[in-house]
Homo-oligomer: A and B are copies of this chain.
C-alpha cells in the first residue's frame, strides 16, 4: 500500500529560513502568519492530507466517477465526506479576504499546504482547486453585487466552481470558440454550446456549481476580441440567493481518461443556460487569465506534489525490497540480500528526484510569495517588481515542474521494477495522474511559447532583467563565502548559459521567429534549471547560516548541503546542453515538407 507523510519540516525550512517570510509582515495577512501560526497550520494541513485525503487516493482512482442515467454524476466513495472536512477546516478560503468569508492569510501559505493536499489526493483536491480559480476571477472582475452573491458560499465550499473554456475544436486557440451568448431583456444572457474537459464539471458534493463560461455574444467580433466571460450557475439563484430552478447546463458525458479518475472531467452542454456577464463585454480573455494564472501556479504545484508523493513511495520501497548485494560488500549480511537502496543507481535516482523536489518546493513558494507581494504590497515599485518576476516564473513553474514531476514519477515507479506496473501498488496512478499536468492549463509547449514569445520581451525585457539581476547579485554577494563557492560558481555558469541563450534569441529570432519557437522548450527548461539551482543556492546559504548559529537540525541541514551539491554536480551541467540546442536554430527543424512527417 502507498504511503504519504507531508514534508512539514522541509516546508517550514523554505518558508522561514530560505524565504524569510517574517520579513514580509508589513503585508496584509502576513502579520497573522507568525512562525508558530505557520507551523500550526502546516501541521493541521498535514493531518488532513495524511488521514483524510490520502486514504481515498488509490480507491478513488480505481472507482472513478460515473454519470448516472438521470444525468447526475457520482464521485468515488468517501470523497463527499473528505470534501466536507476540507471545507470545515476553512482550507478553501485560507488566503481569500476576510470580507468574503476567507481567512486573509498569505497565498504562500495556501500554496504550501496545497502541496500536501495534492500529494495526498490530487483528483479530490481539484474540486476545491477549480473553485479557487473561479473565486479569483470573481474577486478581480466581478461587480460588488456578484461578489456578494457568489463568493461567500464558494469560499466556504458550500458551492463549487469550474472553468468552462475548451471546446472540441479549440483549446489553446480560444479565438475559435463557438459557444454563443444571446442578450436577454433582463440583462442576463442565454448561453448555448458544448464545452469539453471540464474538471470538477459536475457532482453532487456541493449545493450549487458556479461555472465560469467563455462565450461569444451574438454579433461580437471574430477571434479573441469577441469573447466574453459569464457566470452560469448549475441552479439559478432564487430571490433569496438560494439555488433555485435547474439551469440549462448538463453533463453530457464523463471523459474516460488516463488518470485523475477521481475527478469528474465532464462534457458540459449549455442549452440556453442563463448566464451573467462578468467583466466587460468582449474582454473575457483578460478575465479568464486571472483564473488561468492562478491555475497555472496550481498545476506547477501538482507537478511537485505528485513527484514528492511518488518519491516517498520509491524511497520506502527501496528500503524494504531486498535484492542483490551492494557492490561494496553486503550491507545486510544477516539477510538473504541487501535492500536495494544500497545500490548506487537506485540512490542516484532517489537523489535526482529529491534534489528537484526540494528546490521545486522553494521555487513554488518563492513564486507564490511574488504573487502575495504583487497583490498586497503597499509599495508600487515592489508590487511591480514582484509582478514582473511572477509573470516570468508562472510559465516556468508550470512547464518545468510538471515535466520534471512526471519524469520523477516515472523514475519513482522504475524503482519498483515490475511491481511498479501493477495498479494496486499505486505507482502507476502517480504516473498517470502526473501526466495531465503537462497538458492542461496550457500544454507545456504553450508555456514555453508564452515565456519566449511574450514574457521575455514585455516592457523591454524588464522582468527577465530583474530575474537575472537577482540571481547574479546572489552569486556576487556570496562569492566570498568559501563554503558557498561551489554553489555560486555552478549557478553563475548556468546563468551565463541562460543569458547567452537569451541574447541569441534577441539576435536571431526577430528576423526568423521560428528560431524562437524551435528553442522555446529548451529555453524554458534552461531557465528552470537555473532557477532550481538558485533555489539550492539560497537553501545552502540558509543551511550554513543555521549551522553556524548552532541550529539543532543537524542532520537535516547537513543533508540540505549534500543534496545541493548533488544538484550542482548532476543537474546544473544540463544548461550547456539546452543552450547548444537553442543555438542550433530552426533550420533542420523546419526543413522537412509537412507531408514527409
- Which A residues are closer than 8 A to B by beta carbons? 166, 169-173, 175-176, 196-197, 255-259, 315, 318-319, 322-324, 327-328, 336-337, 339, 341, 343-351, 354, 406, 410, 413-414, 417-418, 420-424, 428, 431-432, 435-436, 438-440, 443-445, 448-449, 453, 512-518, 520-521, 555, 559, 562-563, 565-566, 569-570, 573-574, 576-577, 580-581, 584, 586, 588-597
Contacts and interface: CB of A to CB of B under 8 A. Distances in A.
Given A443-B417, A518-B344, A562 B577 contact: no
Given A347-B518, A576-B577, 11 more contacts: A171-B418, A172-B324, A173-B324, A256-B423, A258-B428, A344-B513, A344-B518, A351-B592, A421-B440, A555-B596, A569-B588
A592 B559 contact: yes
Contact of A258 (B432, B521, B595): B432
Contacts of A555: 593, 596
Given A410-B406, A424-B256, A581-B569, A521 B176 contact: no
A345 to B, nearest CB: 4
B581 A573 contact: yes
Contact of A423 (B258, B315, B420, B444): B258
B589 A347 contact: yes
A421 B436 contact: yes
Nearest to A583: B569
B431 A348 contact: no
Contact of A576 (B423, B559, B576, B581): B576
A445 B594 CA distance: 38
A516 B414 contact: no
Nearest to A338: B173
A570 B584 contact: yes
A440 B418 contact: yes
A228 B418 CA distance: 23
Contacts of A520: 344-345
Nearest to A438: B414
Contacts of A171: 323, 417-418
B423 A323 contact: no
Contacts of A197: 418
Given A172-B324, A344-B517, A445-B345, A573 B580 contact: yes
Nearest to A428: B258
A594 B328 contact: no
A2 B243 CA distance: 44
Contacts of A315: 597
B406 A348 contact: no
Contact of A327 (B169, B517, B566, B574): B517
B431 A414 contact: no
A414 B573 contact: no
B348 A589 contact: yes
Nearest to A352: B589
Given A324-B172, A514-B344, A597-B350, A591 B562 contact: yes
A589 B566 contact: yes
A258 B588 contact: no
A579 to B, nearest CB: 9
A257 B429 CA distance: 11
A532 B439 CA distance: 29
A308 to B, nearest CB: 12
A348 to B, nearest CB: 5
A535 to B, nearest CB: 17
A171 B422 CA distance: 14
A439 B418 CA distance: 6
Given A453-B327, A597-B315, A565 B588 contact: yes
B256 A345 contact: no
Contacts of A559: 592, 596
Given A323-B173, A592-B351, A592-B562, A258 B344 contact: no
